[in-house]
Chains A and B, each alone.
Chain A
Amino acid sequence: MSNRFFRERILESIDNPTLQTALDNNTERRLKGRAAAFESIPDWRERRQRAHRIRADVIEHLDDYLAKFIANNEANGVIVHRATDAKEAIHIVLGIVGADEHPHQQKLVAKSKSMVSEEIELNHALEKHNIRVVETDLGEYIVQLRHERPSHIITPAAHLKKEQVAKLFQEKLGIPYTEDIPTLTATARKVLREVFLKADVGLSGVNFGVAETGGMCIVTNEGNARMVTTLPKTHIALMGMERLVPKLDDLALMLSLLPRSATGQKLTVYTQLLHKPMLGQTRHLIILDNGRSKLRNSPLKESLYCIRCGACLNACPVFRELSGHAYIGRDLSIAPYPGPIGSVISPGLFGKNYVQLAQASSLCGACKEACPVDIDLPKLLTRVRAGKVDEERGKKKDGAGLTWSTRLFLKAFARLATQPKLFALSQKFASLGTHLLSPRAQWMRLPAITGWGYSKDFPRFAGKTFRERYRKSEIANREIPLQNMIAEQPANIPTFQPANLIDQFTTELTALQGNVHQTDNVTQSMIEYLTSKNIKKIYLQPNVLDETLLRQSGIDFTHEPDPEIIVGVTKAWVGLADTGSVLEANEELRGSLLPEIHLAVLESKSILPSLPDAIEMTKGKNAVFITGPSRTADIEMTLTIGVHGPKELHVFVDDSNSG
């Protein structure tokens, strides 16, 4: 039996109570969070279909969109590389990291989350070349310390409980044992801050590429992707070739679906758009094929529409029992992508080693229902099972991953099902047989090896089948039609109430533990705030506050971002009312990132209703939409504020020009 090891792994997961508790927590919180987040966009069904069409169009015309995307990136000053497979991609990364004047010094690469890097096993390859790689997403950092693969594409440490993390940090980081999640998080912040500041190279994934502008959109809650893309002198962005949208407008639509589906957020805390290198920085973009072109020309093409939100994992009853580490191939390697989408693309990208995964599904359809771009995952799973993975290699084998006994039974059954007389006869035999086996009881116990007998009893075949009864019975036609009782409910479409934008902005940001101060004298309010906190020195973006007044009040400031300063004051370009976000788009993005406390000035007239109203402003810029203070839920899904980015966010809404 080819899936023996897979089944053993499944049992291990099921029999691991710690894992099961962690998985139940993940499922419950994610499903609730997602449902609540979608309530705020009543037109989500329509958005989902639009998103499906956009992704379908991109995959259909991928070559054109890629050409446009690459040309725009080159015009933006980004160095673009294309890699056909993992080996090539690794070679390119090694070339970039290794190329400088100190070849003997160990290089340090700070990495934010990238599933593509997991797919090509980049860390392993870099370490082999004496390059130190540090994962900076808290969950990824934890699994890296444990020498594990992520068990979930969004929450890599979803399989662990806080006691395990506490023990890990005690052993590896030398801190006293503590299960206090904020303390654990703060420890990681401290250790990784050093890494950000010292790293030679920052390496990130890409959530979306925007063809019309060349923009790379990267979303993180912790702020680590902002660090790795802006602090080191070299940034490498690693991206799957299918991750494109045509326009910024399309991106705004995708961004209304991705965080809601992934983490139940209206917008991820940091939604970055990178359009060019930072001052003094070299930015590389590596676009990876690694089987995607093949997948695109296969019946599994629709799986390329995926935007990697992980919603199908959270909705899947199989994932809920297994967690990512149990999805193994015949060679016992862990599949790079778990869950329903993984059971399609792992075999789709890497061949029949992983086809057996697709048999582990009841085709219940929860994944399709959860998918923000409406990928018909059950259909794709049946295509993997039908051997469509190997079709083009002329080795098509139907019933892929099926055990021989099931195959034999179903094939024999199919022969019977096309010969009605034989079918009826075998029903008689089955009835006789089961009545002999269980003369008294209607339900009987079968051995576990039958599969059915593992957890449930089996019914006897009926003494008289329906077809026999129908032939013999004379069912009276009592013509007493009942009345039509149905009352059609009027469609109940909630209408969106355009509220006061400032109020809406305040409500949303406050809910995210951000602070809003409304004022008609920003400098004065800022001074009052700083004095109350006894803060003497700040980073200040030029031309934002009345600098003379600041000096007179005894507050020192610098225009040069400095990791030692704990308060940074910047000016927000605009605010977004429906998500409580502020847009920062200037040359100096570090001022809103490095300090522990970020104070943003926002003119009240610059509050716009929603992301689509502002997204065009990011064209050609390096920009970030900031939605609340930095946060994580990577340990036991417990929300913790303040990871790599600021722990506090205060927005001073300036009313003085509101007229």
Chain B
Amino acid sequence: MPTVQLFITCLTDSFFPKTGEAVVDILNRLGIGVDFAPDQTCCGQPQFNAGLRNDAKMIAEHTIKLFEKTSGDIVTPSGSCAHHFRHNLLELFEGDNEWYPRAEALGKRVFEFTEYLVDQLHVTDLGATWDGLLTYHPSCHTLRGIHVDKQPRTLLKNVKRATLVELPNAQECCGFGGVMSAEHPELSAEWLKRKIANLEATTSPTLVVTDAGCLMHIMGGLKRQGKSQQVVHIAEILNNR
């Protein structure tokens, strides 16, 4: 049985472990074994984005070394972490003869979860079911960072009994932006308001995302505003049978 490595991401690990279980379930059902390297922590994207490159390097080196001890594709339920491995690490280690090739090799092994399902496994229908409306928020780094959009949408279209409705101005950032939401909460709040208003316009009770960052941010906003809509990671939708 082919086996992949799972990079769970620090947010999913700490806050949304059920998403991780859904990823494992789905891959197992498709005949793919899942290995979890227990020493993994965070990809270091927050530090990279904040401009703390030495700290980002420290974390990246830890992760590179860790996965060098493993083989096969690395699947992660986050577009932004995949983008970090694939693109940011090259920027981070540019001109570094030792680490650049090692970072590049890691980046080539990493796939965002829906990208892996559709592009690598050629699966577009997981036999999932969901009752009611669904709408999809394309996370910035999934959409514009690694150009994955058709994949999650195709998977969602094939969810039985569900009706997929388009989120108005779906491509707009939700306002999380990692450290930006701490550094500029006022800006972040405005975008969040807009995203929630757009979600309400769809009348869908469920917003589907591919990234725990957006999930935490939008869900947190819904809770604060006392709304009933749920933000759900796509893996949990696809694992619903």
Contact = CB atoms under 8 A, between A and B. Distances in A.
Interface in A380-420: 382, 384-387, 398-403, 406-407, 410-411, 413-414, 416-418, 420
Interface string B196-226: 0000000000000000000011011101100
A366 B141 CA distance: 10
B17 A469 contact: yes
Contact of B177 (A364, A385, A418): A364
Interface residues of A, number: 81
Contact of B48 (A382, A431, A459, A481): A382
A409 to B, nearest CB: 8
Contact of A386 (B51, B127, B188): B51
Given A369-B144, A452-B185, A407 B13 contact: no
A321 interface: yes
B12 to A, nearest CB: 6
Contact of B14 (A362, A461, A482): A461
B28 A360 contact: no
B62 to A, nearest CB: 5
B154 interface: yes
B181 interface: yes
B44 A3 contact: no
Contacts of A3: 183
Interface stretch (B100-108, B116-124, B159-167): B116-124
Contacts of A456: 189, 192, 217, 220-221, 223-224
B49 A417 contact: no
Given A475-B28, A477-B28, A414 B14 contact: no
A178 interface: no
Contacts of A483: 125
B36 A417 contact: no
Q: How large is the interface on B (under 10, 10 to 19, 20 to 34, 35 or more residues)?
A: 35 or more
Given A461-B14, A481-B31, A455 B176 contact: no
Given A402-B50, A457-B223, 8 more contacts: A3-B183, A10-B187, A398-B54, A402-B52, A403-B183, A417-B59, A482-B123, A482-B127
Interface of A: 3, 7, 10-11, 14, 317-318, 321-322, 358-366, 368-369, 379, 382, 384-387, 398-403, 406-407, 410-411, 413-414, 416-418, 420, 423, 427, 430-431, 443, 445, 448, 450-452, 454-459, 461-462, 464-471, 473, 475-486
29 contacts: A3-B183, A7-B186, A317-B172, A321-B191, A361-B180, A365-B145, A366-B144, A366-B172, A384-B51, A400-B51, A411-B52, A417-B41, A417-B59, A418-B41, A418-B58, A454-B186, A455-B193, A456-B192, A456-B223, A457-B223, A459-B216, A461-B14, A462-B14, A465-B13, A467-B8, A477-B33, A479-B31, A484-B122, A485-B125
Interface of B: 1, 8, 10, 12-17, 20-21, 24-25, 28-31, 33-34, 36, 38-42, 44, 46-56, 58-59, 62, 88, 91, 118, 122-127, 140-141, 143-145, 154, 158, 171-173, 175-193, 216-217, 219-221, 223-224
